[in-house]
Amino acid sequence: MKNLRFLLWGLALATLTGCVDLDEQLVGTVTTTYFSTPAGLEAAVDGDYAQLRDFFGREES
């Protein structure tokens, strides 16, 4: 029981103090002109269909 208490305190301390100065860089942003090109529009539609295939059980015709 005493070890469990120390473990929980240690996890709480590590969780609350970790990643304070984390600087995130966006790598997946889409520009405003991305969907105006045929390649960009096709990539968007392909991504939507891939999500639907995963949702409906990977049934392909």
pLDDT tens digit sequence for 7-59: 999 888 888 776 667 777 877 777 788 888 899 889 888 888 887 776 776 66
Q: Whats the size of the chain, residue-wise?
A: 61
Give me 21's structure tokens. 């100065």
In this prediction, residue 52 carries a pLDDT of 79
Q: Would you kindly state where each structural domain of the chain is located, as residue ranges?
A: 28-55
pLDDT of residue 2 exceeding 70, the answer is: yes
Collapsing DSSP states into helix, strand and coil, what is residue 23? coil
CA nearest neighbour of 35 among 26, 47, 27, 50:
47
In this prediction, residue 34 carries a pLDDT of 81
In whole angstroms, what is the distance from residue 20 CA to residue 23 CA?
9
Which amino acid would we find at residue 27? V
In this prediction, residue 61 carries a pLDDT of 56
